[in-house]
Structure 1
Amino acid sequence: MTKPYVKQDIQQGIATIEFFHPAHNSLPGDILAKLAQTITDAGTNDEVKVIVLKSGGDRTFCAGASFKELISINDAGTGKVFFSGFANVINAMRKCPKFIIGRIQGKTVGGGVGVASATDYCMATKFAAIKLSELNIGIGPFVVGPAVERKLGLSGMSQIAIDANSFYEAEWARQKGLYAKVFDSTEALDEAVQAFAEHLCTYNPEAMKEMKKVFWRGTEDWDELLAERAVISGRLVLSDFTKEKLKRFE
């Protein structure tokens, strides 16, 4: 696997949506756009009862934003468009009428933590430590912050956002509510995800749809909120501080 992709496989009511990028599953704008659209399409597909969201490879779940694209941002408008990519994925997950199960096989950073947080039920391996690294490069987890705060609480989110240089272990994330279960291996994780998805397919789709509305109540302003946050990140990425920090990744 060397080329980035987003693909979907539907089997017996379960839509498995998988994204991949050779740079530790980082997410450039085109992959974010495809991911948002694929999730939206699965939500309107009557053949689909439940969605499993995963990434390719056996190590990192998601390294967050594409540093290559971050480095190339030279104006606020481009910055807003880039950070809106994560907003669009999170909002697509929020609005999707089907439950989304997160399958987190390894470390996840920045925007990847936001994607994991936007799932409705998330399972992981013990290797799935999380980190919000944005403050390290002079921006912050503004766009993904609401999703992360919704799962970890303000205290948990602020802890990892301020301590931007540290990975927090999967067990910490489980205790805080991001992960429902943590497994010793990817094989055990996959077995559990499959069994859980199959079980959800036996539930009433209308009941699950109504429950999802209940779970996400209070997020109705996120289209506007996350767009506003994207503007903040798009402005900060142009700062001298951030430009200097990003030179390390060129």
Structure 2
Amino acid sequence: MIYHTIVSELKEQILYITINRESKMNALNKQTLEELADAIAFAGNSNEVRGVLLTGSGEKAFVAGADISEFSAYTTEQGEALARNGHTHVFNAIENCPKPIVAAINGFALGGGLELAMACHIRVASDHAKLGLPEVTLGLIPGYGGTQRLTQLVGKGKAIEMITTADMITAEMAEKMGLVNYVVPQTELIAKAEEILNKIKQRAPLAVASAIRAVNANLHKDEDGFEIEIEEFGKCFNTSDFKEGTTAFLEKRKAVFSGK
């Protein structure tokens, strides 16, 4: 797929995905979601990719929300389809991607933008970032998993407060609440995200994927997280990386993992 609203670049096993609609505050429109779905699918299936860094172009916005003009006249059925397609192909695909995805939040992360960041496995925010779910000011609620993921990250009380008041919070407050992992100056944002991914790159890729799968199972009511952990633990024993990791430990050297 040829991308028109995102930029995707693979460097040193990290796939850099930049939402490239700076004049529109990187708002999510249908085309952007389709291109994100394609890029995330590539990341999950490519042996060349060890991690993903997701950000927005410019310094004003990560993603300032969805493109309201595209759905302002939707019916109930169209609205449900919009949310369901987004869940399946983008937001859930990000959460369930076997490669770690780090969101570098470089400004406003509002509505669908915050939902996009929350779907990522790790979040780093610039110190001037502002985060919020303002959908109730439009007569809507978050439709891309925001009610669920925000509750998982910050708890029921804070989630209901943020969603029903539609208030934005600062990056500092988001860090205190557990909504983001780190807050850094804007000039250090990408470097911090890269630091995390470069550390993960040194670990066994299949074990990293198993860890993501097991942690996510805790959030799914139809799965037994302990059972998934046991299964994923067992699978690791049948990998070359397990043999390399244990051999390197016993030989007191650094392991070199192949992802096999």
TM score, norm. by length of structure 2:
0.78
- For 1:159, which of 158, 161, 165 is the aligned residue? 161
Mapped contact 2:91–2:144 kept (Cα < 8 A): no
Q: What is the deviation of 1:101? A: 0.7
Matches within 5 A, 1:80-229: 80-87=80-87, 88-144=89-145, 145-164=147-166, 166-184=167-185, 186-220=186-220
Mapped contact 1:134–1:161 kept (Cα < 8 A): yes
What residue is the counterpart of 1:79 in the other structure?
79
What residue is the counterpart of 1:236 in the other structure?
none
Give me the identity figure in percent. Answer: 24
Q: Deviations over 1:15-52 (max 9, x none)?
A: 11111223111101121121122112111100001111
Where do 5+ consecutive residues of structure 1 fail to align? Answer: 223-250
Q: What is the deviation of 1:133? A: 0.5
2: CA distance, partners of 1:101 / 1:126: 17
Structure-2 change in CA distance of 1:4 and 1:81 (3 Å): farther
1: CA distance, partners of 2:156 / 2:100: 24
Q: What is the deviation of 1:195? A: 2.1
Give the match's secondary structure for 2:169.
coil
Mapped contact 2:5–2:31 kept (Cα < 8 A): no
1: CA distance, partners of 2:181 / 2:171: 10
What residue is the counterpart of 2:228 in the other structure?
none
Matched letter for residue 23 of structure 1? K
Q: Which deviates further from its counterpart, 139-148 or 100-109?
A: 139-148
Structure-2 change in CA distance of 1:134 and 1:4 (3 Å): farther
Q: Deviations over 1:89-109 (max 9, x none)?
A: 111112210111110010111
What residue is the counterpart of 1:234 in the other structure?
none
RMSD of aligned Cα (Å): 1.9
Where do 5+ consecutive residues of structure 2 fail to align? Answer: 223-260
Q: Deviations over 1:64-117 (max 9, x none)?
A: 1111112242x3332223233432311111221011111001011111111111
What residue is the counterpart of 2:30 in the other structure?
29
Q: Number of residues paired by the alignment? A: 217
Q: Which runs of 4+ in 1 moved over 6 A?
A: none
Give the match's secondary structure for 1:216.
helix
Give the match's secondary structure for 2:95.
helix
Q: What is the deviation of 1:135? A: 0.7
Mapped contact 1:52–1:102 kept (Cα < 8 A): yes
What residue is the counterpart of 1:70 in the other structure?
71
2: CA distance, partners of 1:77 / 1:50: 36
Matched letter for residue 153 of structure 2? K
Mapped contact 1:128–1:170 kept (Cα < 8 A): yes
Q: Deviations over 1:144-175 (max 9, x none)?
A: 221222222222211100111x2111111111
TM score, norm. by length of structure 1:
0.81
Structure-2 change in CA distance of 1:4 and 1:148 (3 Å): farther
